């Protein structure tokens, strides 16, 4: 018989493969294409008649605002575009983020955003919003755009951090320090450490039309005794970071060190929120080297250790004079948030 001609080992392999493909192990998302890593872009699914309306303009104003905590030229917070909801082309279905806006008089009032993932591609976020009228939709974006941004930002930071593990030079160096560990690139290396202070950086070479340029991405972590809640005020955080910069973050030139840039052009902003039930203060702004020409944006997060005896600050900074900086800053922010 024909079956006798089949190698018994081959038959065994076929049976194992067949049995391993059970319904319990089936994951349909594995068959979907990989999502683009275009974290700074959002596609809004909205009927074309609204694109140039007050609603469309409000969406543009809310999401394409200039981020003034970066050096000139200021970058947009997000690049957005509009698409017709029922005519999504195949070549854009693997975009990272879609926001679909459905306007129908039969929709109930005050519907919460509906969040879906992996609709057309893996690691993709879809947000659905439903409104009774375009006026109600416009009011929503006037008042609640930051709510949507928080959802998108949280998704993006977690997605970026999935590229890395806790096995890296940052986590290895911080073993025993308040159980601190962070997801980070294995390419990041330690520059300097002192008591309650650590500084890592990663150098890259990127090309543009003018040639090759150096990009530096850095992580700084420092701790200090917690005395009172006033330490979380923006001015006190900046005062602390400038004292750290003058003491430890020294440049190549004599008497050069990192300071906060306060030039009346760039803004310094702060906000407070909770991550994993921990109160966190975030500060965004620009840095520069005193007595040198280097500079760029930074983001810092401050929170208390589990015993509430120390205030921990983790800061990410970027030096990329020939390139947009927000995408690099986003990578560093994902590392910081992974450790809170």
Fold of 29-161: Chitobiase; domain 2 (3.30.379)
Q: Let me know: does 298 contact 307? Beta carbons within 8 Å.
A: no
Fold of 169-338: Protein Transport Mog1p; Chain A (3.40.1000)
Q: What is the pLDDT of residue 5?
A: 46
Residues of the chain falling short of pLDDT 70: 1-30
Whole-angstrom distance, CA of residue 292 vs CA of residue 307: 40
* Backbone dihedral angles phi then psi of residue 295, each to the nearest 5 degrees: 180, 175
Q: What is the pLDDT of residue 177?
A: 75
Q: What is the pLDDT of residue 4?
A: 44
The pLDDT tens digits for 266-324 are 999 999 999 999 999 999 999 999 999 999 999 999 999 999 999 999 999 999 999 99
Edge-first strand order for the sheet with 114-117 is: 79-83, 41-45, 97-103, 125-131, 114-117
Q: Let me know: does 97 contact 125? Beta carbons within 8 Å.
A: yes
> CA angle, corner 93, sides to 90 and 95, nearest 5?
140
Pairing mode of beta strands 211-225, 197-208: antiparallel
The radius of gyration of the chain's CA atoms, rounded to the nearest angstrom, is 24
| CATH 3.30.379 domain range(s) in the chain | 29-161
Buried b (16+ CB within 10 A) or exposed e, 140-172: bbeeebeebeebbbebbbebbbeebeeebbbbe
DSSP 23: G
- Beta partners for 275? 278
Q: What is the pLDDT of residue 27?
A: 61
Total residues belonging to the chain = 340
Whole-angstrom distance, CA of residue 205 vs CA of residue 199: 20
Whole-angstrom distance, CA of residue 296 vs CA of residue 84: 38
Burial class (CB in 10 A: 0-12, 13-18, 19+), 5: exposed
Q: What is the pLDDT of residue 19?
A: 54
Which tokens belong to 67? 């981020």
Q: Let me know: does 294 contact 213? Beta carbons within 8 Å.
A: no
| CATH 3.40.1000 domain range(s) in the chain | 169-338
Q: What is the pLDDT of residue 25?
A: 58
- Beta partners for 192? 199
Whole-angstrom distance, CA of residue 297 vs CA of residue 175: 28
Q: What is the pLDDT of residue 40?
A: 97
Whole-angstrom distance, CA of residue 286 vs CA of residue 318: 9
Q: What is the pLDDT of residue 23?
A: 55
């Amino acid at each position: 018989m024909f079956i006798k001609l089949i190698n018994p080992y081959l038959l065994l392999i076929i049976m194992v493969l067949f049995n391993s493909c059970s319904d319990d192990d089936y994951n349909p998302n594995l068959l979907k294409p990989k999502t683009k890593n275009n974290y700074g872009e959002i596609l809004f699914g909205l009927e074309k008649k609204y694109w140039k309306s007050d609603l469309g303009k409000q969406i543009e104003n809310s999401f394409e605002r200039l981020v003034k905590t970066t050096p000139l030229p200021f970058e947009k917070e997000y690049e957005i575009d509009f698409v017709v909801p029922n005519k999504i082309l195949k070549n854009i279905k693997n975009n990272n983020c879609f926001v679909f806006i459905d306007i129908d008089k039969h929709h109930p009032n005050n519907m919460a955003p509906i969040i879906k993932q992996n609709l057309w591609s893996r690691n993709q976020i879809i947000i659905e919003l439903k409104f009774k009228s375009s006026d109600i939709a416009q009011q929503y974006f006037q008042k609640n755009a930051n709510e949507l941004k928080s959802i998108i930002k949280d998704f993006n930071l977690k997605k970026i951090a999935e590229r890395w593990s806790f096995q890296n030079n940052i986590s290895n160096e911080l073993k025993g320090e308040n159980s601190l560990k962070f997801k980070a690139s294995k390419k990041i290396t330690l520059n300097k450490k002192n008591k309650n202070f650590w500084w890592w950086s990663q150098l890259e070479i990127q090309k543009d039309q003018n040639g090759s340029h150096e990009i530096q991405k850095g992580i700084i972590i420092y701790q200090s005794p917690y005395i009172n809640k006033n330490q979380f005020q923006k001015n006190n955080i900046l005062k602390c970071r400038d004292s750290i910069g003058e003491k430890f973050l020294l440049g190549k030139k004599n008497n050069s060190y990192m300071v906060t840039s306060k030039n009346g052009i760039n803004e310094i902003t702060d906000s407070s929120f909770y991550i994993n039930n921990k109160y966190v203060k975030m500060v965004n702004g620009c840095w520069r080297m005193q007595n040198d020409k280097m500079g760029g944006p930074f983001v810092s997060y401050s929170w208390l250790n589990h015993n509430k005896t120390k205030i921990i600050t983790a800061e990410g900074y970027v030096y990329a004079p020939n390139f947009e900086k927000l995408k690099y800053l986003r990578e560093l922010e994902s590392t910081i948030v992974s450790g809170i």
